[in-house]
Structure 1
Amino acid sequence: MIHFISQMADRKSAWFILFLSALALQIVALYFQYGMGLEPCIMCIYQRTAVYGILLSALLVLLKNNGVTRLLGFAGWVVSAGWGLLIALEHIEILNAKNPFFASCEIVPNFPTFMPLHEWLPTIFAAKGDCTENSWQFLAMGMAEWMRVIFAAYLIVFVIVFISRIVGKKHI
């Protein structure tokens, strides 16, 4: 099984699944925003950016599958999933603050000056919502809680694949 997982990471089909999962999350996010009228807050935008990091990491390997691009893909995947999980956890803390008057988040995204995504693509990266609003629920969890689960799943899959790659290489 370990050898199979290790080999799968070399195939474009596995990276395509990663790409499709991130793309599906982006489509759902845009549906929530434009179809359901749920404006994203700054934390949602940061989580959206982390999902784009996973999407672009997988796309890189899909465009050119070799050792270097896979290494960059793995790095982008784990950094984006880890960062997304941290942001989701911080968002949950804001939502669960004892005193909502002291729970706050930024209004304008803090993207690097060389890449102001909120100015280049405001329909995707502008934050117009409130971080303390938690109106959407599914199975007793809001979006921040679901994103915690999703990013944790991305990290767990990464760890399984990464360990399989290390162990799989020793047996070859």
Structure 2
Amino acid sequence: MLDFLSATARSRIFWFLVLIACLVLEGVALYYQYVLDYGPCVLCVHIRAWIFGLGAVALLMLVIGGPLALLGHLASLGLALGMLRSSWITLGVERGTIIDSCTMDPQFPDWLPLHQWSPVLFEPWEPCGYTPMLAFNISMAEALVVISALWALVSLVLLLASFRKPKKEKDLFS
């Protein structure tokens, strides 16, 4: 099992799947925004930015490959924790357990004005407080908390596994 995790931590196929997952998540967000007319709030835009960052890391790791696996998984863990924090706040605002007055300013740093570079993806349309319902009566905020928590766990496990060198015969994914 440890050899499998170690090989997975260095795998280009793994990072390709991460990139696909990020594209699917961003695609779902855009579908809800532009087809179903559920505009994003500031917190939703922040979650999109975390996912976009993870996709960028996945693309970089896909190109560079295994030698920088440790850094890729460290970045992935940081992005997952940022996404988990934003998702948790979104859920708290939705349920009324966190009082937050979201502005319409996404407050990206001056050196990274995502909302100006790509308003289609990163411009908030609505105030915080509501996310649409998905299948099985699960809100988007609830789903995002679960997704980001699972991603943080996967990132942590693969970060730890990247310290171990896989046996050559088990290194099937590189």
Same fold (TM over 0.5): yes
Match for residue 160 of structure 2? 163
**How far, CA to CA, are the matches of 1:64 and 1:87 in structure 2?**
29
RMSD (Å), alpha carbons: 2.1
**How far, CA to CA, are the matches of 1:64 and 1:2 in structure 2?**
23
**How far, CA to CA, are the matches of 2:9 and 2:100 in structure 1?**
41
Instruction: Give me the TM-score of the superposition, normalised by structure 2.
Output: 0.87
Closer, same or farther: CA 93–71 of 1 in aligned 2, 3 Å: same
Match for residue 124 of structure 2? 127
1:94–1:104 CA contact under 8 A, matched in 2 = no
2:16–2:62 CA contact under 8 A, matched in 1 = yes
Greater RCO (Cα-Cα under 8 Å, separation 6 or more): 2
* Paired positions, count: 168
Query: Which consecutive unaligned segments of at least 5 residues does structure 1 have?
Result: none
**How far, CA to CA, are the matches of 1:36 and 1:116 in structure 2?**
26
Closer, same or farther: CA 26–107 of 1 in aligned 2, 3 Å: same
Q: Deviation per CA, 1:16-58, whole angstroms, max 9, x where unpaired?
A: 1111111111111111111111100000000000111111111
Query: Which consecutive unaligned segments of at least 5 residues does structure 2 have?
Result: 169-174
Q: Where do 1:1-172 residues align within 5 Å?
A: 1-68=1-68, 70-97=69-96, 103-166=100-163, 168-169=164-165
Superposed structure 1 runs of 4+ greater than 3 Å apart? 168-172
**How far, CA to CA, are the matches of 2:166 and 2:27 in structure 1?**
40
**How far, CA to CA, are the matches of 1:73 and 1:91 in structure 2?**
27
Aligned identity (percent) is: 29
Instruction: Give me the TM-score of the superposition, normalised by structure 1.
Output: 0.88
> Which secondary structure does the structure 1 equivalent of 2:162 belong to?
helix
